[in-house]
Chains A and B, each alone.
Chain A
Amino acid sequence: GQNIDQPTEMTATEGAIVQINCTYQTSGFNGLFWYQQHAGEAPTFLSYNVLDGLEEKGRFSSFLSRSKGYSYLLLKELQMKDSASYLCAVMDSNYQLIWGAGTKLIIKP
């Protein structure tokens, strides 16, 4: 079966750095996506990785290791508005997205 694993909840302090991990086992791989979802709102696109390595986009970076079936999302200089759920999704061999359950990130002052 196909499986995406990420921690259920994490807590971090404003101004700090946090790393949210995602491991996956899917039938095929056509890229990995990270989305942000604030409570009661729709998911919004953050990043996409298809090649191994780090993609940096402002305060957010995403890393992929295809051989390990592993990705992480790195958030720097945390702000209170970063409190949200972060969803990891893998595009499988049928070009359909398989979604993790999401990591709820709580930012404390």
Chain B
Amino acid sequence: IAGITQAPTSQILAAGRRMTLRCTQDMRHNAMYWYRQDLGLGLRLIHYSNTAGTTGKGEVPDGYSVSRANTDDFPLTLASAVPSQTSVYFCASSEVSGGSTDTQYFGPGTRLTVL
């Protein structure tokens, strides 16, 4: 089934621990994105990748890192989790980056709680 998968679905994590959120798409999309969604706020871009091998910083990159070794996978790592990183994390992808009809498609999300 074509689409985006994320793992885990939810996670409770102790502060200071390292955590990697996984994201895989099978639509052969060039661009991928990580957002966080917090109550009362719009989706905020953490990091993005326009194509395999390249990454860029979004609006709220501090405390997060990404890699894009291939087209399909775009993991997000929290090196040392803090409670302010408690959020719902969405991975998204789009066919191209820079196109005006660049519709983004979202994975189901990961609900992360840092205690």
Contact B104 A97 (CB under 8 A): yes
Among the stretches A13-21, A57-65, A72-80, A99-107, the one at the interface with B is: A99-107
Q: How far is the CA of A91 from the CA of B48 in the complex (A)?
A: 14
A50 partner residues in chain B, CB cutoff 8 A: 100-101
Closest beta carbon of chain B to A23's beta carbon, Å? 14
Q: How far is the CA of A100 from the CA of B99 in the complex (A)?
A: 21
Within 8 A of B (CB), among A20-39: 30-31, 33
25 chain-A/chain-B pairs, Cβ below 8 angstroms: A31-B101, A33-B103, A33-B104, A42-B106, A42-B107, A43-B90, A43-B106, A45-B103, A45-B104, A50-B101, A91-B100, A91-B102, A95-B98, A95-B99, A95-B102, A96-B45, A96-B58, A97-B43, A98-B42, A99-B43, A99-B44, A100-B42, A101-B41, A101-B42, A102-B42
In the complex, B61 has a CB within 8 A of chain A: no
> Lowest 8 A-B CB distances belong to which pairs?
A99-B42, A42-B106, A99-B43, A95-B98, A101-B42, A30-B100, A31-B100, A43-B106
Interface string of B30-42 (1 = CB under 8 A from A): 0000000000111
Q: How far is the CA of A98 from the CA of B41 in the complex (A)?
A: 11
Given contacts A89-B42, A99-B44, A102-B42, 7 further A-B contacts (CB under 8 A): A4-B42, A31-B101, A89-B43, A91-B102, A96-B45, A96-B58, A97-B45
B97 partner residues in chain A, CB cutoff 8 A: 95
B48 partner residues in chain A, CB cutoff 8 A: 96
Closest beta carbon of chain A to B62's beta carbon, Å? 17
Chain B residue at smallest Cβ distance from A43 = B106
Q: How far is the CA of A108 from the CA of B96 in the complex (A)?
A: 40
In the complex, B64 has a CB within 8 A of chain A: no
Contact B109 A42 (CB under 8 A): yes
In the complex, B75 has a CB within 8 A of chain A: no
Contact B90 A48 (CB under 8 A): no
Q: How far is the CA of A4 from the CA of B105 in the complex (A)?
A: 20
Contact B101 A43 (CB under 8 A): no
